[in-house]
């Protein structure tokens, strides 16, 4: 597993870099083929190639992941792949190359892979716009989804996720000389300040809704009243009702200054993943690995899409570790084999469930 992890980490794969993602997709496909046989198909998209592998037979379970990372080219030179003190480090080890490797090696222990599919996408870190339709298609065809994103703190599985989205608010004012006639302008920065306060007030922590302005820009020169400003906002919600409330509130934003104009783009594009979507599969996982915990988390994944379709979905089956998207990202080496076996056990249990039944009857098989 560590050899394959090194192979994948050392092919840098930042989102939106199509050349890098092509090389990464080819590396992922090669690892899948070397460990599982068959042919991994590269599915072209505007974001870069997705990797799809099928063992054949009636689809029963989709192993879902992504090979794009948030780290720019050159990160590997500064932070190369290393294994020290029981930890593997390097860009993408935890989010989520380690999970891919574990899943592939777990599947390799099974004598029968019929009905198993693997889909590794190229744009999860930037919203999955080019892969969402394919993800949903294969999830509906398979009827159960195992997401190999990194585990939650302490190795817990991710049994629920908030819906998440990004909004961009553009404020248009009117430029003027800041010293000679500031009153002739419409200050987009001042208007943006009003909007930031209005936007932040949309949060409802008691309902699990966070609305967080994260990036702002305005102005051109220190002696010019700014004519334009932008505010980028991260939104997380736990329910469809909150999704609708927040989206409606953004659409209704109104200027405070005469002459200012407001334009809003964005939406909560990843729907919430309710814990009910993972309940049956999590019950199976707990029987396979006693003491395993589950946790609802704020981050989103492609599991949000599959859960929203009503497809049983269990997330956080990937690496145990931490530091996603940070320089201290790491994977706990000692947990890799156990997590590989967990994926294999879940797949085996799903395969043995009788056709056209929910995953629920698998509980008796595991016992």
Residue-wise pLDDT tens digits, 49-107: 999 999 999 999 999 999 999 999 999 999 999 999 999 999 999 999 999 999 999 99
Q: Is the pLDDT of residue 365 over 60?
A: no
Domain annotation for the chain: domains and CATH numbers = 2-162+273-366 (3.40.630.10), 166-270 (3.30.70.360)
61-66 and 116-121 beta bridge pairing:
parallel
Query: Whose CA is closest to 96, among 146, 53, 34, 138?
Result: 146
Q: Is the pLDDT of residue 355 over 60?
A: no
330-332 and 163-172 beta bridge pairing:
unpaired
Q: In the prediction, which pLDDT does 363 show? A: 33
61-66 and 145-147 beta bridge pairing:
parallel
The set of residues, in sequence order, having a beta carbon less than 8 Å from that of 62 and lying 6+ positions away, is 117, 118, 119, 138, 139, 141, 142, 144, 145, 146, 306
DSSP state, residue 26 = H
Stretch 317-332: mean pLDDT: 97
Count Cβ atoms within 10 A of the Cβ of residue 354 and give its class: 0-12 exposed, 13-18 middle, 19 or more buried. exposed
Residue 193: its H or E element: helix 188-200
**Averaged pLDDT score across all residues of the chain:** 95
Record the pTM.
0.89
Give the Cα separation of 189 and 144 in Å (integer): 49
Phi–psi pair at 215, nearest 5 degrees: -140, 135
Token readout for 346 is 């879940």
Phi–psi pair at 179, nearest 5 degrees: -100, -40
Mapping DSSP to helix (H, G, I), strand (E, B) and coil, where does residue 32 land?
helix
CB 82 within 8 A of CB 89: yes
* Rg for the chain, CA atoms, rounded: 23
């Amino acid at each position: 597993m560590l050899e394959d992890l090194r192979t994948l980490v050392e092919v840098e794969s930042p989102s939106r870099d199509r050349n890098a993602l092509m090389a990464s997709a080819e590396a992922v496909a090669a690892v899948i083929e070397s460990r599982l046989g068959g042919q991994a198909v590269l599915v072209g998209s505007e974001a870069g190639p997705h990797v799809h592998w099928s063992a054949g037979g009636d689809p029963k379970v989709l192993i879902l992941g992504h090979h794009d990372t948030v780290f720019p080219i050159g990160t590997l030179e500064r932070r190369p792949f290393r294994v020290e003190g029981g930890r593997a480090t390097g860009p993408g080890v935890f989010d989520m190359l380690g999970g891919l490797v574990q899943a592939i090696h777990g599947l390799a222990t099974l004598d029968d892979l019929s009905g198993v599919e693997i889909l590794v996408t190229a744009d999860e870190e930037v919203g999955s716009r080019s892969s969402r339709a394919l993800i949903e298609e294969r999830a509906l065809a398979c009827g159960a989804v195992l997401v190999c994103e990194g585990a939650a703190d302490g190795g817990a599985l991710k049994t629920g996720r908030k819906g998440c989205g990004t909004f961009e608010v553009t404020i248009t004012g009117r430029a003027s000389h800041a010293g000679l006639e500031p009153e002739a302008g419409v200050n987009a920065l001042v208007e943006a300040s009003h909007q930031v306060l209005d936007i932040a007030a949309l949060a409802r922590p008691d309902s699990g809704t966070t609305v967080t302005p994260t990036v702002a820009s305005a102005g051109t020169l220190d002696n010019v009243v700014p004519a334009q400003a932008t505010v980028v906002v991260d939104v997380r919600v736990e329910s469809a009702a909150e999704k609708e409330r927040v989206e409606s509130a953004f659409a209704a934003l109104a200027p405070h200054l005469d002459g200012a104009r407001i334009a809003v783009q964005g939406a909560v594009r990843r729907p919430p993943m309710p814990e009910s979507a993972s309940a049956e599969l999590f019950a199976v996982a707990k029987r396979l690995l006693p003491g395993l915990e589950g946790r609802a988390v704020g981050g989103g994944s492609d599991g949000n899409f599959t859960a929203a379709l009503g497809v049983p979905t269990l997330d956080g089956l990937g690496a145990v570790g931490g530091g996603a998207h940070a320089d201290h990202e790491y994977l706990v080496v000692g947990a890799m084999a156990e997590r590989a076996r967990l994926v294999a056990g879940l797949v085996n249990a799903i395969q043995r469930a009788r056709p056209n039944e929910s995953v629920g009857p698998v509980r008796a098989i595991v016992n």
